[in-house]
Amino acid sequence: MEQTELRGRTVTAALRPVTPKQREAKAARTGGEPTLEFDGRTPYDVYVNASTLHRLQQPISDDPGEMSFLMVSQIMELYFGLTRYELLQAQRMLRADRVWDALAPLRRAGLHLEALNAAWRGLRWMTPADFNRFRDLLGEASGFQSAMYRQLEFLLGLRDPALIRPFRRQPDVYAELRETLAAPSLWDDVIALLARHGFDIPADLLDRDVSVEHEAHPRVEAAWVRIYADDGPENQLRLLGEALTEVAEQFGDWRWEHVKAVQRTMGAKVGSGGSAGLAWLQRSMARVVFPELWSARTSM
């Protein structure tokens, strides 16, 4: 948090905000031509840190295809973080009973996940022979070890405390993952919201150990059946259900695209991180995000 605040102050000082009137006056002086002279770094680079971003690609082989693999992986990491950011915003709104305000970050999260899914297209060229040209050089490096992906999974309610073990020797990362596991997931907060809105949610479900993955409950399912029965425009909970459904569906699509990418490039080989690879991913697909939102549809 301190680093974020320091970065914010530095950027604000360097960017020198201007008003619409100042922009209009400058355009009148320059005849509408763009500014070409600056005292230091361009304001765009100060804000976006583009020069830093483009120094982060450090391939470990001479194979030109590795750059695609590396950069797409980095793009996905950024989208994991952006989606988590939006879901945390939505979570704060829901805890304050601001259902309407939670819809915007949830919808943005769905769109970010859609863009994340599109990133897989940049790897469609990769055959087993293409991947094998640099795969061995990766050692045990694997997407399984993405801390930000784990943060996103935990926030969505897919929780397995064992999966934070790889990060024990990264104290800050490990502490953040433990903190996320100890806090309610987005789905836990949605269930608590339903209880505050008068739905019959058992007390033991509200007071459970949130570090353990939630199991689908018939009372939660029944609540969503009731919510969807009211299709009036003022039913904010129904709109919430649809926004959450989009997030869950897009996240499920990412997991399926991952399965397909592994099938295309590795088949059923052992995964780089030591897992069973394809078989492990296929088993993980059985764990459903926001399960009662899906099961309730059978009774609607």
Contacts with 208 (C-beta within 8 Å, 6 or more apart), sequence order: 214
CA–CA–CA angle 20, 23, 28 (5° rounding): 125
Contact indicator for 147, 177 with CB cutoff of 8 Å: yes
Asked whether residue 135 is marked as a ligand-binding residue, the answer is: yes
CA–CA–CA angle 23, 28, 34 (5° rounding): 65
Please give the Cα distance from 192 to 1 (Å, whole number). 28
Contacts with 88 (C-beta within 8 Å, 6 or more apart), sequence order: 155
Please give the Cα distance from 115 to 267 (Å, whole number). 25
Asked whether residue 23 is marked as a ligand-binding residue, the answer is: no
Q: Over the Cα atoms of the chain, what is R_g?
A: 23
Binding-site entries: 135, 258
Binding residues for heme: 258
Which residues are known binding-site members for substrate?
A: 135
